[in-house]
Structure 1
Amino acid sequence: MDPVAKDFSNEQIDLASLPKYESVAFSSVSSKYLIKMNIQTGIFMLVLTIALGVFWFFQLNYIQSGIIFGFVFVAFIFRFWNNYKLLQSLGYAIREKDIIYKRGFIFSKTTVIPFNRVQHASISRGIWDKLLGISSLNIFTAGGGASDISIPGLEPDKAVQLKEAIALKISNDES
């Protein structure tokens, strides 16, 4: 018999003893992120309104114009409500061995990334981010694009602090 096989064990883990990510206190993102989402929604709705004007210019009857306007108005209200609810659902937490990111309110998704799977982290800032004073922290993993996360709406100094904490954690795991 192989001596390595003799020392092998694979005991079952008690699932009740595993740590619960639900009990973690999540940090929320900046409320400035809601302003960014609302600006983007406003631009999108402006394009829809211009499209409605084009339809009206080509002399659609009042019923068709009313239906289109009603659709645009409902979409407009829903998008702003969606932005507000989305901001409330965003959260992140860093634990000793992993980082957790949750998002979504209708379809919620929580991603837990162990630090030994993180390859690197970066900070990005678009035009609206710079104007509003927020940043996004992007965390890239060895699992590919499906397991990468981007935490939007962070204060720039908080994003740098988190990036440095992650860099420290992954460099400690490598040594």
Structure 2
Amino acid sequence: MFSNCPISIAQLPDIEQVEFAPLDHHATTEARLSTFLFLLPFSLLVGIGLFFLQKVSVEVAIGLSSLLIMINLYVFWFVGLAVKRTGIALREHDFLLKKGVFWQKVIIVPFNRVQHIETHRNPIERKLALSSLKLFTAGGMGADLEINGLNIERASQIRQFILKQEHADE
């Protein structure tokens, strides 16, 4: 017979008690380099272009270039803070990712929902001995969870642990 008994809110596990481990110490460097490889050339082109436009005064070009520099410095700071506030945790039945600076969220992926796991390394990650881990779950169209900034050994260990947990449920 089907039953659906109520559960008291007091009985629910407290997510605040989970200890999240930080990413690798090179994760901030990787995130900043990846961001600036995209952002900096654009900023330089805009800044240089402003000086060569004949309809823009030198004062306006300097002001806009200064604004671009300020934006880049803000992004540099913000990316570092975002990586610092990212954490991961493995529990008996699930994997947790905590991230966010202003709007913080915790993503929980139960092991029994994981279809497959990928590790990948971009050129910057290879240089810094880092790896990224992607978890794909049943019914998902893409990666449901992606963690950048893990050292190679840690990413491999997490991948093997999750694979063992998947097969333990069978």
TM-score (norm 1): 0.89
Moved over 4 A (4+): none
Structure ranking higher in helix proportion: 1
Deviates more, 1:72-81 or 1:140-149: 140-149
Structure 2 partner of 1:114: 110
Choose from 20, 23, 47 the match for 1:29.
Answer: 23
Structure 1 partner of 2:167: 171
Structure 1 residue 146, shift from structure 2 partner: 7.0
Choose from 7, 17, 20 the match for 1:13.
Answer: 7
Structure 2 partner of 1:41: 35
Q: Deviations over 1:57-82 (max 9, x none)?
A: 12321232023112202111111110
Q: Say what the alpha-carbon RMSD is for the aligned residues.
A: 1.6
Structure 1 residue 50, shift from structure 2 partner: 2.5
SS of equivalent to 1:37:
helix
TM-score (norm 2): 0.92
Contact 1:45 1:72 in 2 (8 A): no
1:74 equivalent in alignment to 2:67: no
Letter in 2 for 1:165: F
Structure 2 partner of 1:3: none
Contact 2:134 2:143 in 1 (8 A): no
Contact 2:135 2:143 in 1 (8 A): no
Larger-gyration structure (1/2): 1
Unaligned runs of 5+ in 2: none
**Counterpart Cα distance in 2 of 1:101 and 1:143:** 20
Structure 1 residue 89, shift from structure 2 partner: 1.1
Contact 1:56 1:65 in 2 (8 A): yes
**Counterpart Cα distance in 1 of 2:141 and 2:130:** 23
Letter in 2 for 1:15: I
Structure 2 partner of 1:53: 48
Contact 1:36 1:129 in 2 (8 A): yes
Q: Deviations over 1:23-72 (max 9, x none)?
A: 10001111211111222333322431232112211232123202311220
Unaligned runs of 5+ in 1: 1-6
Letter in 2 for 1:8: F
**Counterpart Cα distance in 1 of 2:14 and 2:42:** 45
Contact 2:116 2:136 in 1 (8 A): yes
Structure 1 partner of 2:85: 89
